[in-house]
Structure 1
């Protein structure tokens, strides 16, 4: 028995060693000829646009490209998308690529990976241009952590001047875009250039795999730090041709906490100065042909809302009963009806499908916890849900 365990352990170690050797040799077959990263810091949701010109310098075709993320960003990743660039200039087009999380046995210091599947294997000597978008949430840290009503909000953002990658990068440049030109401080890594609201790092040349150079930016950001701590969306399918939506929100301002007294007189008389980091309205983008819209809280109906509709979309602007400063919270409910025929479809085999948006309609908000409840009409059988990312699913029968 002991001998068998030793053999199994030896085989496992051999397999891991071969796998590690495979990924190490694989990374040497690809190099990034040029990388340009643009990081948008103009809201509390950080959007990163990455353009990679990859080249196969190995001896065998490559079918995937790896993206690497440091452990400090792993829990902040909300979305990763990639596309291949086809054509040039006016004839340029983009083809979406599959992106899936993956693991490497020799990943350094908690690095997380995503694998981009190429449309066609990249042969030796060939190049391809990839466009990557990834979004980070909860990555801006208010500092100071508390501010008064009349103070602007300053935040920290931490990253690297160099792009973390398992590949050698021949040339790379990073651009940061801030909401205003008020930049308190930033880490200098020459060459570094600043012009207005843009900060440029690089170009840097010939950096080996996993190069990382921490930087810190301290800048003004008074955009709404709107966080939905919890959202419950209830979707009720009616036999009478209607889709009824009820959304219950627990909203918070996740920016620097408000300190001191709040003066409504000062807030209303000097709106451009007093409470500049607060927010008093939000925009919800709803489907077209929406009807029977309401907006209320525990007290009752809230009249400060405005609905704009056209044949392509509906926009509902809502105002809580009071402006939200850092640390303040509000709860409310939005409800509306939709024509069922716009979302319910029947397949040739007689099954019915409801095609409906999963996420939150509020613009520029982050949802920490989302629950979607779908109430099926009486007589519905064998329900199932198809969602393009992992979620917990439960079936309740009443």
Structure 2
């Protein structure tokens, strides 16, 4: 039975191997690959690196355009891109693609990428000959790496975020030209870190292009040049963060429905209150009608054909929700969420099964079905630390295959009893780490077998038990 396979996107190819520093150190003689930095440095030259960092959301996205040349004497089949150790457990997405035409990014060829110790190891199909040039893009997304500064403020104080970055590309190869742009900055300023002095420049302003948030440095940068810095910028928005999400998909052939239910454990990673909560101060701040770091509502994007949406928490049903734009469910928690305040809630909805489950088109396979549904729904501009996705298939069904668009860390099979079950629904739970709202465009595919005999068995057994019960009632009532 095949449980672990991947859905290949047109522009994305990911193969995830989570390797911790401790694990690599303890098993380096057997499993970990020892990387020879001197050999790496002599294999490539970075002719140009252009990086765009996007800070518009509650997580960070980075698009790196690289133009590299093979300076070795043989073909190169790998390119190594270092990742800072403190960001390894915060990676939500990484991919490398090669454009067939640099002016048009429509046609892309994906590369296979692995995490190898503190490097992204990019596999180049066919290799690159000596003195040849390769152009490709690297996409990175990190969660939980934006920190409010200071951590505690009053409601009327400015709300600033501290973002840590590197002044220069930290690369095992020599870099000839470096340019980067930061999107989403407002009232920004550099915060220099105490430590080694910068042998190239004193501050980011020294190589800023005009009044924009673009920076360029044209001198040669040595391999493994490491100069961290920080940028403080204004952000008048919350930092919603789901540290635990339990997502259930119930497949019912009898009701012809696909039921979705999600349980959230949510927090706000923005500023904490310095003096505690004051209702009067909060009402005064709300009267100004200005954007705030306080989380007062969530915009949950649902499938357009959803039906019967509900929303409740541990207290009971929450009526402060409404549907806008056909499929946007606006949820308002019972109380505003300031920094480090938590809220638990459950939402759910139903869908028509025929729109998401179909029979396979293979010959003599009328009993085989394919379920295809979104890997993630949920709030916009939100990241998820851990998600347990449970798929409940009909009683007596048999799983054939599960295809996931991204790797999962574990898969557990069990049974779950529901109404009038005898053996229980087949339950398959997949665990994912570090997800973002953009995974809503990804879909999980489940192939299973559910024949007519299994479909008719439950109503037959229910009827049999009812008939036996009536006979016993008739016998003992005399």
Q: Given the two structures, how large is their TM-score scaled by the length of structure 2?
A: 0.71
Identify which of 277, 288, 294 aligns with 2:310. Answer: 294
Report the 3-state secondary structure (helix = DSSP H, G, I; strand = E; otherwise coil) of the residue aligned with 1:59.
coil
In structure 1, the residue matched to 2:301 is: 285
Matches for 1:310-349 after TM superposition, within 5 Å: 314-347=327-360, 348=362, 349=365
**TM superposition shift of 1:75:** 2.2
In structure 2, the residue matched to 1:107 is: none
Identify which of 256, 261, 267 aligns with 1:252. Answer: 267
In structure 1, the residue matched to 2:380 is: 363
In structure 1, the residue matched to 2:166 is: 160
Q: Deviations over 1:169-212 (max 9, x none)?
A: 111112223442x124444146332766x533331422222111
Q: CA RMSD in A?
A: 2.7
Judge conservation of contact 1:297–1:332 (CA < 8 Å) in 2: yes
Q: Given the two structures, how large is their TM-score scaled by the length of structure 1?
A: 0.84
In structure 2, the residue matched to 1:306 is: 322
**TM superposition shift of 1:50:** 0.6
In structure 1, the residue matched to 2:80 is: 66
Q: 1:195 to 1:232 in 2, by over 3 A?
A: farther
Q: Deviations over 1:87-143 (max 9, x none)?
A: 14357532332222124xxxxxxxx11122234422223222211111111212222
Does residue 183 of the first structure (1) align with residue 188 of the second (2)? yes
Matches of 1:217 and 1:250 in 2, distance apart?
Answer: 30
Matches of 1:345 and 1:352 in 2, distance apart?
Answer: 6
Q: 1:316 to 1:174 in 2, by over 3 A?
A: same
Matches of 1:145 and 1:194 in 2, distance apart?
Answer: 32
Identify which of 212, 215, 225 aligns with 1:211. Answer: 225
Does residue 170 of the first structure (1) align with residue 188 of the second (2)? no
**TM superposition shift of 1:144:** 1.1
- Higher mean C-alpha displacement, 75-84 vs 185-194: 185-194
In structure 2, the residue matched to 1:139 is: 145
Q: 1:14 to 1:226 in 2, by over 3 A?
A: closer
- Higher mean C-alpha displacement, 382-391 vs 372-381: 382-391
Matches of 1:383 and 1:289 in 2, distance apart?
Answer: 28
Report the 3-state secondary structure (helix = DSSP H, G, I; strand = E; otherwise coil) of the residue aligned with 1:205.
coil
Matches of 2:214 and 2:317 in 1, distance apart?
Answer: 49
Name the count of aligned residue pairs.
370
- The structure number with the bigger radius of gyration is 2
Q: Deviations over 1:222-253 (max 9, x none)?
A: 22210112111111000132100001111111
Report the 3-state secondary structure (helix = DSSP H, G, I; strand = E; otherwise coil) of the residue aligned with 1:191.
helix
Report the 3-state secondary structure (helix = DSSP H, G, I; strand = E; otherwise coil) of the residue aligned with 2:285.
helix
Q: Structure 1 unaligned segments of length 5 or more: list them.
A: 1-11, 104-111
In structure 2, the residue matched to 1:106 is: none
Q: Deviations over 1:238-295 (max 9, x none)?
A: 013210000111111111112332334313322217xx21122222222231111112
Matches of 2:68 and 2:108 in 1, distance apart?
Answer: 16
**TM superposition shift of 1:360:** 4.6
Matches of 1:20 and 1:233 in 2, distance apart?
Answer: 40
- Higher mean C-alpha displacement, 364-373 vs 352-361: 352-361
Matches of 2:107 and 2:154 in 1, distance apart?
Answer: 49
Matches of 1:345 and 1:82 in 2, distance apart?
Answer: 33
Q: Structure 2 unaligned segments of length 5 or more: list them.
A: 1-26, 193-202, 416-423, 425-478
Matches for 1:212-251 after TM superposition, within 5 Å: 212-239=226-253, 240-251=255-266
